[in-house]
Amino acid sequence: MYRAILPEGQIECERYDRAENGVDLYDGDDEFIAFVPYANLHALADEELYTGDTTEDERSIM
């Protein structure tokens, strides 16, 4: 699970695809949720960052 961090809030998604101008977000049923332009995307974080299941060396960076 991932979280797209936007200026207005967050969108949870199961997976994402990178496009030329932004990312396409999809839910667990592989249904399209949203297109987020890179200009509006602050970060795309792995859900493990919020649950504390990662080690210090692991980071989700876009």
Q: What is the pLDDT of residues 1-33, one digit of tens each?
A: 999 999 999 999 999 999 999 999 999 999 999
Residue 26 corresponds to which amino acid? Y
Residue range of the domain that includes 19:
2-46
User: Cα–Cα distance between 42 and 25 in angstroms, integer?
Assistant: 15
User: Cα–Cα distance between 1 and 60 in angstroms, integer?
Assistant: 12
Is residue 53 domain-resident?
no
Tell me the pLDDT band of 47, cut-offs 50, 70 and 90.
confident
Is residue 16 domain-resident?
yes
Strands (E) across the chain are located at 2-6, 9-13, 15-18, 22-26, 32-37, 43-46
pTM: 0.75
Is residue 14 domain-resident?
yes
Spatial CB neighbours of 42, under 8 Å, sequence gap ≥ 6: 5, 6, 7
Structural contact between residues 2 and 15, judged by C-beta atoms closer than 8 angstroms: yes
